Every structure is written in C-alpha cells, then in structure tokens.
Amino acid sequence: MNSFQRRGALLSAFACVLVGASFTANGALVAYPHAGGQALRYGIAFALLALLTLLGTRAAATAVRLRALTGRLWLRLATLAATGMVGFNLAVLAAERSAQPAVPGVLVGCAPIVVAVLVPLLSGRRPAHAVLAGALLVAGGAFAVQGWGGSDTAGLVWSLAALAGEVAFAVIAVPLVVPLGPRLLSTCVCGFAAVEAGLLGLLLDGRAALRLPDAAEALALGWQAVAVTVVGFVCWYAGMQRIGAERATLFSGLIPVSAALTAPLIGVGTFGPGRLAGSLLVAAGVAVGSGLFGRRTPGEQGGALAGRAGRVRPVVSASRRG
C-alpha cells in the first residue's frame, strides 16, 4: 500500500470512527421527529458544504462539473440520498421498534461482504480474495462487538432494509466519485436528502416535523450535521476515491468498535474481553482486506490510478462504470 492509498485508508477509518462516536448523541434525538431531524441535519450540512464550495478557488470548475452531469447521474444522486441516507436511517429506526439495536447493527455489519462481491461484479471484475476474506473477518468482528439480540419478523425485515441502504451508500456512489469529487458529491447528496426527508416529514408529521429542538437536541443535530455529515462524508468519499468502494467499506467495521469504545465514556455499557476480541478481529480484517499484507493485482492498480487521476484534474465526463 503506497502513501496515496494509506491516506485513503486513514480517511475512510476516520469517517467511520466519527459515525460510531455519534451513536452516543443519537439518544438525545429519540423524541425528535425522525424525518424532520434528518431534513435539518442534511439541510445544515448542504448549506455548509455549498458555502465551502462557493468560497473555494474552483467555483468555475464546479459549475462545469455540474453542467456535465447527465440526467442518469442526477437520478443516481437522488437515489443515493433516498436509499443510502434517508432510507437507511429510517430503516434502522424502524428496526429498533421491535428488535434490539444489535440486530440491525449485526446485519449492517455484513455490508463489507456484499460490497466486496457486488462492486467488482458490476465493474466486470472478479471479487478479490483478500478483500472478501477481510470482509468476512470484519463482519465476524462486528458481530462479536455487538452480540445478537431478540427480534420479530418486522425487525429483521427492516434490518435487512438497513443493510441494503448501507450497501447502496457505497455502490451507487461509485460512478459519481470521479466526475464530482468528494466535496461536491457530498454537497449534492445532502441537498437531495434534505429535500427528500423534508417532504417525507411533512407527509408523516405535518408541521410537527420541524419543531424547534431543545438545547440537547440542537447539540446532537449540530454534531451530526457538521462532524458526521460534512467532515465524515467528505472523508469517506475521499477515501473511496483512493482505495475503491470495496476496501473503503471494510472500515465500516470500525463503526461498532467506535460506538463500543465511546459508550462507557457517558456511562452506557462496558468494554469487556468479548468486545476487545471483536475489535481485534475487525482490525485484522481491515489489515488483510486493505492490502496491507499483499500487492494489488494489475486491474485493481488501474482502478486506483483512475481515481487518482480524477483527483488531480477535473473530470467532467461520466465514469466508465456509469
């Protein structure tokens, strides 16, 4: 793994650690309208990202990239926001109504396995054995960290829907990372997600969807908007651009580890030997799957170079995977 790929791995890891640490803030939003909360979160994130883009030195290049997007790619952006962001969050919340939180957590922890198989197949490659082996270790480690809980049929169905949303967050984004870049991609999907969540909130809750949050809710929404969404999304897609979707998704195994490590800090849960063993298993899976112990194949190296080229100079045409 060269320095370019190592930066991608670090960015992916940092993004997932932020997401895991945010779970402790979610408790403050239990009573807040879910769709309305997402609309606020993504709306704030969109405003901040758009401001950063306008204040940047590449505003003209940004306009060129947006004009070059086809209708098919705009539809992909809207679908990514609906499934990988709004749909994923609502599926997790729905699952936890009749299932213990570990159930959707364990199933979502299987996302690296699905992505390790699906992304290569969609791009005409065979799944890399090292990545697949690493994904299996990561999924096993996530299970050990979270354990398994009780659930009814509805809880399992919604947990599977959450898994589909997690996979969609990576897979649907693959043809968008190169033509847009991490920041602009994050800006666009947050804009779509804010509108979609807002409309859904008005449909489900009416005016109550956007009630004024109290102090604790405002802090939690601010953390989710700034740290998890603005910083986390940009880092995640920057990491994906450097190491590919299947390797970046391996780092999602760090989400339950980060949650387990931070929960005792606020007096929720403990970090015992079982969670330690699971965390070590996740670390081993990430190390194996990311290529730390081996070289990439020529085809995989070519994909990494393509992502690097997209970072160095603006690319306004659609990705060959689109």
Judge whether 45 and 190 are in contact, CB under 8 Å: yes
Judge whether 248 and 240 are in contact, CB under 8 Å: yes
**Amino acid letter, residue 200:** L
pLDDT number for residue 165 = 93
Q: 3-class DSSP state for residue 321?
A: coil
Closest CA to 84 of 10, 192, 184: 192
* 99 bridge partner residues: 151
What gap in Å lies between CA 169 and CA 182, rounded to an integer? 13
Q: At what angle do helices 71-80 and 182-205 cross, to 10 degrees?
A: 60
pLDDT number for residue 318 = 29
Query: What are the CA-CA distances from residue 156 to residues 100, 141, 317 (Å)?
Result: 10, 20, 40
- State CA 144 to chain mean position distance: 21
Owner of token pair 């049929």: 153
Judge whether 206 and 18 are in contact, CB under 8 Å: no
Judge whether 121 and 173 are in contact, CB under 8 Å: no
User: Residue 4 — φ and ψ, nearest 5°?
Assistant: -60, -45
Owner of token pair 């709306």: 43
Q: 3-class DSSP state for residue 151?
A: strand
Residue 3 tokens, joined:
């320095």
What gap in Å lies between CA 89 and CA 42, rounded to an integer? 12
pLDDT number for residue 260 = 76
Q: pLDDT truncated to tens, each residue of the chain (322 aa)? A: 678 888 998 999 899 888 887 766 667 777 888 899 999 999 999 999 999 887 765 767 788 888 888 999 999 999 999 999 999 988 888 887 777 777 787 888 888 999 999 999 988 889 889 899 989 998 888 888 877 677 778 888 998 999 999 999 999 999 999 889 999 999 999 999 999 999 999 998 888 888 888 998 999 899 999 999 999 999 999 999 999 998 999 988 888 888 777 766 666 566 778 778 888 888 888 888 877 655 544 444 334 433 333 333 232 222 223 3
pLDDT number for residue 185 = 95
Owner of token pair 């909130």: 201
What gap in Å lies between CA 31 and CA 19, rounded to an integer? 20
Q: At what angle do helices 298-312 and 232-243 cross, to 10 degrees?
A: 130
pLDDT number for residue 172 = 95
Residues 6+ apart with CB under 8 A from 146: 101, 102, 105, 106, 109, 256, 260, 278
pTM: 0.82
pLDDT number for residue 197 = 95
pLDDT number for residue 263 = 65
**Amino acid letter, residue 159:** S
pLDDT number for residue 307 = 39
